[in-house]
Homo-oligomer: A and B are copies of this chain.
Amino acid sequence: MSGEEPRRRGRRRSEESRQAILTAAFDLVAEEGQDFTIEGIAARAGVSKQTIYRWWPTKGDILLESLAEQAEARISTSDRDSYLQDLRHFLDQTFTVLRPPGVRSALRSLMAEAQQNPELLLRFREEFLERRRASLLQIVSRAEVRGDLPPRVRSELVADIVFGVIWYRMLATDRLLDGADAGSLAGLLASHE
């Protein structure tokens, strides 16, 4: 029992700086390629580069931290009695989070950074992609228990399709995801005939 903190000596990490850095990074990337460099972040946050390097290995990790927080907070997987409704609700919430262009910019930048740095890619998977996936799979297994799940596709494929469409739309096209998309997708995946 207990979570005794070791209480180290010396000055403590500045929460103010941490927030300033997360915000600056997000804002810069939201402004479409606007000076999104470590130096740019430091300048906008009013912080030294050293302070950034002390806590984050790459600028991608900064985005990762701020995006992971947001997603966790704003997408629930509450039980709505049917697979179709659960799925529809999950998609609607997700698409809402993705509405602001800044969020999409940040996610696209993060995905791009991750492709160029294998270690960041691992962290991105573990701390973001897998968690989002786990959220969805929770809905799927609830349906399975309920006997509500169409037999056609394995749950892993469901996740590949849902997140595949979401990311493909962000990365490869300009088209926003809307309620109609949520309806078609949920319809296809939850339909029994």
Contact = CB atoms under 8 A, between A and B. Distances in A.
Interface of A: 32-33, 108-109, 111-118, 125, 129, 152-154, 157, 160-161, 163-169, 171-173, 181, 184-185, 187-188, 191, 193
B171 A111 contact: yes
Nearest to A10: B48
Q: Is the interface of A mostly helix, strand, loop or mixed?
A: helix
A116 B109 CA distance: 7
Most chain B CB atoms below 10 A, which of A161, A169, A172, A184: A172
Contacts of A165: 157, 160-161, 164
Given A109-B115, A112-B112, A164 B153 contact: no
6 contacts: A109-B115, A112-B116, A129-B173, A152-B187, A152-B188, A160-B169
A8 to B, nearest CB: 15
A118 B129 CA distance: 25
Given A153-B188, A188-B188, A167 B160 contact: no
A185 B157 contact: yes
Contacts of A171: 111, 114-115, 167, 171
Given A157-B188, A164-B168, A167-B167, 16 more contacts: A109-B115, A112-B112, A112-B116, A114-B171, A125-B173, A152-B187, A153-B187, A154-B184, A157-B185, A160-B168, A160-B169, A161-B165, A163-B164, A164-B169, A167-B172, A193-B193
